[in-house]
Structure 1
Amino acid sequence: MTDSVLIEGLAVEAIIGVYDWEREVSQRLLVDLEMAWDNRVPAASDDVSDALDYAMVSERISAYLVQAQPQLLETAAEGIASLLQDEFGVRWLRLTLRKPGVVPTAAAVGVKIERGGR
């Protein structure tokens, strides 16, 4: 199966970072996500309950990042991947997590991970 559900540019304001000042302010994080999902069933039924609910996925990712307050982007990315696999049954995903504006000469810094099997 090569079907996917995409979420691109999900913006979340959360506390993240290792420096003291970073633990006191929210910073913008950007999430890009590709998730393997068999889209044939929702396509045939035209019923949202058969689809991967990207609004619910987006809300859950946002809530996780706000609550977890990780120090590292790597920790945040692994946490998101685990919750998507555990709570939504996503078998495979590719996740990019960016922190814009941290390095003055770069648009963003970030990590990209891929978990599971297609």
Structure 2
Amino acid sequence: MAPEHEPDDDLEPEGTEDDADSDFEDGGDQTEVTIEVRGLSLYTHHGVTAAEREVGQRLVLDIRLEVGDCDATVTDMVEDTVDYGEVCNTVSLVAQQRSYKTLERLCSAVADRLLDEYAADEVWVKAAKPEPPIPLSVDEVSVEVWRQRGGADDED
């Protein structure tokens, strides 16, 4: 038989919002949010050769945005974070807007646009060619670009 216990009205249950707030004030827990999109497959016209740019090919892009502490962890509202659906649309637009010879330039253009349009501290973009135009058997070739938001020029 369980011992009888009368609740103490002066005590709040563990894990309440007040406890969480005091952790942040005391330098306790800190939340960092990363938004990641993997395997965004797009048909594009990038490449060194004219044939690659004319005929086109499939690229697979992976995107990661470091957004830091965002309000959505508390509010549960899409408006308080970076919407990954919008990120995919932005990446698709940049990747299909014009043709680049190198994946390095494409990844840089995507990273720049993501930093311009979204509240991210850092972005990482990887573009892979699953069927590169080389005479050897490889699973894929890829390029990764990482960008970090600059100093005073980028702050609001």
Which amino acid letter does the alignment assign opposite residue 105 of structure 1?
Answer: S
Give 1:88's aligned residue. 118
Please report the TM-score for the alignment, with normalisation by the length of structure 1.
0.90
**What is the percent sequence identity of the aligned residues?**
26
In the TM superposition, what whole-angstrom CA distance separates every residue of 1:5-45 from its partner, at most 9, and x where no partner exists?
Answer: 10001111110112121121121111111110135411211
Amino acid at match of 2:76: D
Give structure 2 stretches of 5+ with no counterpart. Answer: 1-30, 150-156
1:70-101 Cα shifts (integer Å, max 9, x gaps):
11101000000100101113211222111111
Instruction: Tell me the C-alpha RMSD between the 2 structures.
Output: 1.6
Q: Is 1:76 aligned to 2:111, yes or no?
A: no
Task: Give the aligned partner of residue 143 of structure 2.
Answer: 111
Equivalences, count:
117
Runs of 4+ in structure 1 over 4 Å off: none
Return the alpha-carbon distance in structure 2 between the equivalents of residues 48 and 7 of structure 1: 16
1:28-107 to 2 correspondences below 5 Å? 28-38=58-68, 40-102=70-132, 103=134, 104-107=136-139
In the alignment, is the contact (CA less than 8 A) between 1:8 and 1:33 conserved in 2? Answer: yes
Change (3 A) 1:37 1:109: same
Which structure has the larger Rg?
A: 2
Larger strand share, 1 or 2: 1
Query: Where do 5+ consecutive residues of structure 1 fail to align?
Result: none
